[in-house]
Amino acid sequence: MNKEEKKIIRRSTSQRDLVLEAVRTGNHLSAREIFVLVSQKKPMSFGTVYRNLQILAEAGEIIAIPNDPTLLRYDSQSYHHHHLHCRKCGRIFDMPLTYRDEFDKEAAEKSGFVIDSHSISFEGLCHDCQDEQ
Ligand SMILES: [Zn+2]
Ligand SMILES: [Zn+2]
């Protein structure tokens, strides 16, 4: 590895740390929201932030929540858990419900897939949006 390569790795690592830090400060933030947070600390393009989010998600450091395909949100808690999605304000909350490993086992038996995990999303109205009604 030459000097230039080392510099690139160091640079991308610190960018990644900033992105990870931003994901951890918020609650199920979207890529745009994470981009705004990171930009306050260090100028970075949206593409760079997005690429780092993908790398972190692939590494299992964070998870991408696919509720809204146009607005991917990221979770700093990468253990298996489910989500509540408010259909009015779009916010996502953690669902305090036990993750059932037997679902994975049953799905593997029925489909022949190698199952890594499953996710359940509950749709509805959050407390704030209920109060507004
Ligand atoms: Zn809401
Ligand atoms: Zn979550």
pLDDT-based confidence at residue 78 (cuts at 50, 70, 90): confident
Q: How far is the CA of 33 from the centre of ligand 1 (A)?
A: 17
Q: What is the mean pLDDT of the chain?
A: 86
Domain ranges of the chain: 3-75, 82-132
Torsion of CA 100, 74, 22, 57, to 10 degrees: 80
Q: How far is the CA of 83 from the centre of ligand 2 (A)?
A: 6
Q: How far is the CA of 83 from the centre of ligand 1 (A)?
A: 13
User: CATH says 82-132 is which class?
Assistant: alpha beta
Q: How far is the CA of 120 from the centre of ligand 2 (A)?
A: 11
User: CATH says 3-75 is which class?
Assistant: mainly alpha
Q: What are phi and psi of 54, to 5 degrees?
A: -65, -40
Q: How far is the CA of 90 from the centre of ligand 1 (A)?
A: 6
Q: Is the pTM of this model over 0.85?
A: no
